[in-house]
Structure 1
Amino acid sequence: MAPRQRFLLIAVVALAAIAISAQVALSSPWLGLELSPHDGPEGLRVDRVHPDSPNAGVIRVGSVIVGLQAADGRQIPLHGNLVMEEPDLLSHTDLNLFMKRQTELDQALRSGGARFVLASGDQVPVVAIDTPWRQLSGGFSIHTFYGLIALLVAVGIWAFRPKSAATRLYALSGVATMVNTLTLAIYGDREFVLSGDVFEVVSAVNHLATLMVNASLVSLFWVYPRPLARFPVPALMICIALIMWVLSELQVGESAQVTVYLPIVVGYVLGLCFAAAQWVASKGRPLERAALKWCVLAIFLGSVLLMGLVIIPPAFGHPPLVPLLVGFGAYLILYLGIAAGLVRYRLFDIERWWFKTWLWFAGGLMVLVLDAILIMGVGLTSTYALTLSLAIAGWLYFPLRQWLWDRFGQRSSISLNEALRELVDKLFSASTEAEVRRAWPDLLRMTFQPLSLEMPDAPDKKAAVAVSADGVLMELPALPGDTRRASLEFASNGARLFTKEDMRVANLLYDLTGKALQALQARDAGAKKERSRIMRDLHDDLGARLLSLVYATDTGTVREVARSALRDLHGLVDTTAGTPASLLEVANGCEGEIRQRLTDSGIELDWQADPMRLSDQELSARAAANIARILREAIYNIIKHANADRVEVTWSRDSDHLLVRVSDNGKGETLDGQGDGHGLRTMQVRAEDLGGRVDCRVLAEGGFVVELTLPAA
């Protein structure tokens, strides 16, 4: 079954259950009166007469009703507990009497002819009708709303993750909560009377649902975020809940306090123990730790209110501190909070206010505890005790809270000062854009200490820093002029998730680094402009003079030196201009120069270069100039030292390397025999500048070879 079909099916069943519950609630007799226990030993006081009441004008507000006389003359005494919202707080003996009285009153009112006996001794006729629909718009609707929200949230998550033990337990708690609130809406919002038979069934179902809610939520912390052990705790908890329910129906013990409320309190404590064990087990797993934090917060903010105000007081023999309608509103906090933890929605926000929430909770608890100590222990009046407890909290707790926040709450925050100091140091020491780009990943590592940092190519450019919904991943866009974005996973070496504060700092670092690159680009542009001006002056002034010298001199040696100087000047100007060239263009340019020089020296040239293999590689101006100068130096050494009559220059390229080989058939002197070796060292330096190397050796058959090897791309 598809997830939406599961969800729709449960929703339809829930609506049917609501309709049945509404029909049961509407079947109870309605008098149109608001009754409350009388201050005396017995009787009910009339607090309000509804305008549409069938008894309007007959019974006055303030009247005290002490009994109901049936049409057959039977006298049924009325006690204050008949309008109790939760009658299972009574002992089993009193509860059985309560149910008997409910049945007698229901029969007497439905039979007609009944009369109320007032404390004054007067008797007034009473008329009961079926409960109008509009009476369901109050407490019944609110209770139903609580349960429906819990059910839809829990089942909505389970429908898409039906195989997860955590979502199954959560769905069970949602179903049980729906049943709990529906049954409570039937008998808790009754006006006065509900048939004892119906009351007993509804109350029994309510007890079972209450125990199941507790068992499923306690078991949830055994399996989530990860199973604590292979022991079947969820099945055991559900079995215990069923056993306690059976004991409750058998009326074991004095009251439901023993078989229902006390087990719920024990289960709550056990759930806290499971949560503490999960906290230890999730160490080093920030995503699980964040989900656990969220769920624990939901449990404390929701169930502490529910347990403290509604469940715990009856467990110790006291009535609930607030009406059930108010107390069960905590279900919304509990279920929506746990749902957020289970689906792991925007968990990075929790890092910011998790510690603050606990400090807030501790502050309120401290005021309450101090107030209780001053009243019960010291004997102060409530007014003085509250004033003094607030003063103590203000003088002691708030400074302590600030210290705790500074000491622990910010322990995972970013040292922005250190990050900015490192950034400034890098920027002021960097002389090129490449240095800034190389420093960028190191700056991110130092600032955020991610568990992993990758720099993948970005197919599409993102305009801003982004954090994933679960806070695990933070991505920064590529720096201007780059194609690689930064992808960081788990902050603080995996100890926490990324937060909005991380996003703010990352945006600041990104903007500052971008400004630094712009500054370097502006500086380089200015330097390039100045170099271009100098090169133009050299070309126009010095170049013209060298050219005049070439044509004006009659000495061949001087003419050759002038031509060589002119070629070097042109190469220097081209390199400075930064104009790229293809490998084939560089080879052709070198061939023309080398052929001319060797021809003038009476040396034959064998030039081997495949244009098809050289045309598709582009070289920078610097690479082109270095290759030309290496070949020029090699040819110069041959002319000056080799005493050769034939030179072979071969260009070859594969997928990884470019190889230029210059060999001669000369006398084959070793490196030591070729001058002072300065030219060979210069060739090696130029090759290393391009990431390559120059190898020189004497050939066995005679002659000398120089091999230039460079990366192909």
Structure 2
Amino acid sequence: MLSLKTRIIIGLTLVALYGFMIIGMAVNLPASNKVFSQSDSQLLAQPPASPPITVTAFSDGTSQLPADTFLLLEEPDVLATYDDLNRFFHIHQQLATWLANDALFIIDDRGQPHVVSPQARTLTHLPGLFWLQLLCGLAGMVICVLVWVPAKREVAINSFAITGLSYVLFSSAAAIYSTRDFFMAGPLFVWLSGLNHFGALLFSASLGAFLWNYPRKAPSVWITAGFYLAFAIAIAIDQLQLVTSPVEGFHTWVMAIFLAGLLGAVWQWLKTRQQPEHRSALRWVVISIITGTVFFAGGMILPAMLQVAEPASQGILFTTFLLMYLGMALGVVRHRLFNLEKWWFSLWSWLLGGLFIMLTDLVLAMILSLSGPVTLTLSVALIGWLYFPLRQHLWKTLFLSNHQGLEAWLSQALPAMLEVQRKTQSESGMEEALQAVFQPLAMESQPLTDTGISIHDRGETLNIPDPLARRTWSLHHAQQGERVFNRDDIRTAGLVLSLNQLVNQAHEAHALGAREERLRIRRDMHDDLGAKLLQLLHRSTDGTKPLVREAIQDLRDLLKDMEGESLSLEAAVLQWYEETEQRCNDHGTKLQWQTRTSATVLSASEFSELTRILREAVTNALKHASTTELVVTLDSQAGTLELTIENDGVAVDQALKKGRGMDIMTSRARKLGGSFRHESHSDRWRLILCIPLASRLS
């Protein structure tokens, strides 16, 4: 079982080896002591330190071949017919043979022969266009590797990965023959041209299959199969030359398959009308693909098909495909395309860390290449004392797995559980503990189905049941993808589960103790304080009885709050109305009560805070103003409770004052997650409370 990073290393290594192979093939192409170019309709040969020669023919001393500028074509498949293409390859084969036998001459416009001598080709002979095409293809393949290796094996993912493979195939093949030093063996030219066509057709088919399967799967598997069947038919027609021209056998097929793929984008657009997340991701995909392909189609394929203009440089146009892959990479970050998570940043950080080590090696290699014993001594000292320890530290940090002991995972799991339970009483903290201990790249949960801890997908996934939460946690790629899960992780996960049960038992024991203590205090308050308040009510005068009744009601509310029981909003409104009506009657104030309630349940704390806000507002209206009318309006529609208390008899100077009661009501409103404001108009004073209601049905 290989870890995620190991598989990524293997994939990137294969991409790098392929790149080195292409470079080796390009270096081994034949070269000569003359540089060939085109001027109008003439073929020119430039000897070293001499004026250019107008070439009219090539010769081996016994036979001649006419010098035609079409031999310099960057991409031969733009020729009108397959016969022209075969003649192109045949002439190149003949010239490469003569050059290899040291028997090649060029005939100038005066009939004079000039010897063409073979030369070895080095890296410095490879032009910038070669490196541009090769690096763009390799970069696209690297992006596809980083998407495909960790993702789920789905049709869309596989098709996207195949586009990267086909992109590097056709771009690298073209990089070799489009930047040749004029001469190339015919069979190699034919093979590279076929590889270019193979990659281009496969790219178009895979892109079409991807568009039909992302973000929704195609309505039938035969649609996906049809794209690859069309690819197989097209490559057979092209390579067997069953038609007259490359336009019919290659370019038309590439364009037709691509257009069929775009129909998939239209189908996806229609199917994602009610899915904004899919629609947003699809929009990003389509823009990336169109941006990456439209320039190549308009600059290369269409001119070749219509034969109306000279095609643009194929090497430059190949770079536009990289825009598509860059767009896809950005889409992964912005819209989480292909269900990839933020760990993509971790992979790129890891990759850049490896590149830093490679660059450090190159810099030191350059230092060692300098001459002189002093420089060599300093270089060895620098490597031994600074470079090797630094590289070892980076290597250990970036690549080596960290096997945690009991102290390590305990110090990570326990604080995570306790912190979550401190903030939210309803969560156990299991998710945060598993994140801290195993550091998976991705984590998800599903309903509890199995009671045992198990490893799946060859070590990529660890399933951990959580009986307390009735769910199973699935962890993917341990330690940010550095290793696979093993038996030690099963044991560690079992310890985390046991710790979670222990923490929850301690939390429940604490809650039980607090509840019992609260009940004891409630009984004492009810028996002692309640009895004394009732005695005081019977002995009070008519003027003080309302105050005693309010104290008794406050005690009842406090005791009810200590019970911790919920209450329906309708029952709460009835209690509020009875209390407010009694208080208004005691003060000779007219009450207008207007309510519109929904089937909602208030928690004990919500009921307590709302009761105190309403009571404080009514107290202000009855005691601090010459109130003759009190209007209370309560509306609990659309998940929000809005309470308005309005009274008259307030002077302007009193309205401008803001006392302690206002601050208390504002604080209580904020505690409930709502807002509280006050306003005045003429001699009327209005308080407005607005709080959100939880979606609890009575």
Q: TM-score, normalised by structure 2?
A: 0.51
Given that 2:44 and 2:54 are in contact with CA atoms closer than 8 Å, whether structure 1 keeps it comes out as yes
2:155 counterpart of 1:154: no
Q: Whole-Å Cα distance in 2 between the matches of residues 288 and 592 of structure 1?
A: 67
Counterpart AA for 1:35: F
1:56 aligned to 33, 38, 48, which one? 48
Whichever residue aligns with residue 44 of structure 1, its letter is L
Q: Decide whether the 8 Å contact of 2:174 with 2:315 is kept in 1.
A: no
CA spacing shift, 1:583–1:25, aligned 2, 3 Å: same
Residue 19 in structure 1 maps to residue 47 in structure 2: no
Alpha-carbon offset, residue 86 of structure 1: 0.8
Indicate whether 1:628 and 2:552 are aligned: yes
Structure 1 residues 288, 654: CA separation in 2 closer, same or farther (over 3 Å shift)? closer
CA contact (8 A) 1:169 1:219 kept: yes
1:628, 1:652 → 2: CA distance? 14
Alignment of 1:77 onto 2:58: no
Q: Which residue of 2 aligns with 1:5?
A: 6
Alpha-carbon spacing, 1:273–1:679, altered in 2? closer, same or farther (3 Å): closer
Aligned letter for 1:204?
G
Of the three residues 66, 77, 95, the one matched with 1:105 is: 95
Q: Where does residue 488 of structure 2 map in the other structure?
A: none
What SS does structure 2 have at the residue aligned with 1:328? Answer: helix
Measure the CA separation in 2 of the matches of 1:582 and 1:623. 22
How far residue 168 of structure 1 moved from its aligned partner, in angstroms, is 0.7
Letter in 2 for 1:656: E
CA-to-aligned-CA distance 1:121-146 (integer Å, 9 cap, x gap):
22222212121211225221111111
How far does the alpha carbon of each residue in 1:267-300 deviate from its partner, in whole angstroms, 9 at most, with x for none? Answer: 2221222111111111011111111111111122
- Within 5 A, what are the aligned runs for 1:76-155? 76-90=65-79, 91-155=81-145
Aligned to 1:364: none
Q: 1:298 & 1:657 partners in 2: Cα distance?
A: 54
Structure 2 CA distance for partners of 1:246 and 1:623, relative to 1, 3 Å: farther
Q: How does 1:699-710 map to 2 (within 5 A)?
A: none
> Which amino acid in the other structure matches residue 303 of structure 1?
T
Task: Provide closer, same or farther for how the CA distance between residues 631 and 145 of structure 1 changes in structure 2, counting only shifts above 3 A.
Answer: closer
In 1: Cα distance, 2:13 partner to 2:548 partner:
78
Q: Secondary structure at the match of 2:7?
A: helix
Q: For 2:192, which of 202, 214, 223 is the aligned residue?
A: 202
Q: Which residue of 1 aligns with 2:409?
A: none
Change (3 A) 1:631 1:345: closer
**1:577-588 mapped onto 2 (5 Å cutoff):** 584=524, 588=528
**Match of 1:515?**
none
1:600 and 1:21 map into 2 onto residues whose CA distance is 104
SS across alignment from 1:329 = helix
Which structure has the larger Rg over C-alpha atoms?
Answer: 1
State the match for 1:237 in structure 2.
227
1:234, distance to aligned residue in structure 2 (A) = 2.0
Q: Which amino acid aligns with 2:51?
A: R
Query: CA offset at residue 74 of structure 1?
Result: 2.7
Q: Does 1:656 align with 2:646?
A: no
Instruction: Check whether the contact 2:173–2:195 (CA below 8 A) recurs between aligned residues.
Output: yes
Q: Which has the higher contact order (CA 8 A, sep 6+)?
A: 2
Query: Is the 2:93–2:184 Cα contact (8 Å) retained in structure 1?
Result: yes
Which residue is equivalent to 2:487?
none
State the partner residue of 1:44: 43
Cα distance, 1:231–1:599 mapped onto 2, change above 3 Å: closer
1:160 deviation in Å? 1.4
- 1:241-256 maps to which residues of 2 (within 5 A)? 241-256=231-246
5+ residue gaps, structure 1, are 50-54, 348-455, 461-580, 602-621, 633-649, 659-676, 693-713
Aligned with 2:228: secondary structure?
A: helix
Shift of the 107–585 alpha-carbon distance from structure 1 to 2, 3 Å rule, reads same
**Counterpart-to-counterpart distance in 2, 1:104 and 1:258:** 28
Residue aligning to 1:172: 162
> Aligned with 2:180: secondary structure?
coil
Structure 1 628/104 Cα, relative in aligned 2: closer, same or farther at 3 Å?
same
Identity of aligned residues (%): 22
Deviates more, 1:181-190 or 1:19-28: 19-28
* TM-score after normalising by structure 1: 0.50
Query: CA–CA distance in 2 between the matches of 1:306 and 1:225?
Result: 25
What amino acid sits opposite 2:215 in the alignment? P
Once residues 253 and 657 of structure 1 are traced to their aligned partners in structure 2, the CA distance between those partners, rounded to angstroms, is 82
Instruction: Say whether the 8 Å CA contact 1:208–1:242 is kept in structure 2.
Output: no
Per the alignment, residue 356 of structure 1 pairs with: none
Deviation at 1:118, TM superposition (A): 0.6
Change (3 A) 1:4 1:311: farther
d(CA) in 2 for partners of 1:458, 1:104: 82
Distance 1:679 1:344 in 2: 59
In structure 2, give the amino acid aligned to 1:187.
Y
- How many residues are matched? 397
For structure 2, list consecutive stretches of 5 or more residues without a partner in the other structure: 338-423, 430-520, 568-580, 588-592, 594-607, 615-698
Structure 1 match to 2:576: none
Change (3 A) 1:36 1:689: closer
1:28-69 Cα shifts (integer Å, max 9, x gaps)? 2212544334534xx5124xx4xxxxx414x523x2111222
- Aligned partners of 1:97, 1:215: CA distance in 2, in Å? 30
Residue 113 of structure 1, CA deviation: 4.0
8 A contact 2:19–2:138 mirrored in 1: no
State the one-letter code of the partner of 2:71.
Answer: L
